Structure 1
Amino acid sequence: MANVLLVLHIVVAVTMVVIILLQRSEGGALGMGGGGGGFVSGRGAANVMTRTTAILAAIFFLTSITLGILGQRKTPTSAIGTPTSTSAPTTAPSQAPADAPALPKLNIPKPAAPAQQ
């Protein structure tokens, strides 16, 4: 179910971006005129685009919240569906593998203690 919801979420997001970019800019704050015909002209088309954007935004929010809830309840999995390890290893390896190149040791001087008065 989460995969279907994720696909729906992505489709809604892409569709919403396309619908928003197709809308005619009012441009009042930037001094751009909204005059002339464009791809979308007339009030009827603008109202349909505005309603479509609002519906897609509501679906986007609902899928976002639902995916967040499902993500908290579910054990983490990778993109291919295998479970991922969430715990860190308890012991560090004692030595590097035999074929690993030796790293140089860094001699970093310790800062001097501040003088007390």
Structure 2
Amino acid sequence: MARVPAAVVAASGLVGGYGVARWTGKREWGGAVLAVAGAASAWQWRQRAGGKAAGALTAAYVAGFAGSHPLAKKVGAWPSVFTVAGAVALASWAVADRRDAR
């Protein structure tokens, strides 16, 4: 059975969390999507790259979420979300997922 890369889970959590919050008007639902995907990603990162890497990538995930807000004021909401999701996905791939791709 193929594994879903943590990069995909993390990026989906950032994009999906924003999308759910925006389309439902319920920020807490978007937060739930963000939290579940973040927890799943953190678990994968720990399994694949260890505790320190998982901590750093989790911090990047949270920083991406927080950083998307001021960035949205400059480039717009969706471009901001896609930018931070891409950055977190790239970091995840480089630190944890690349090892599984071999």
TM-score (norm 2): 0.38
Structure with the greater alpha carbon radius of gyration: 1
Higher relative contact order (CA 8 A, sep 6+): 2
Larger helix percent: 2
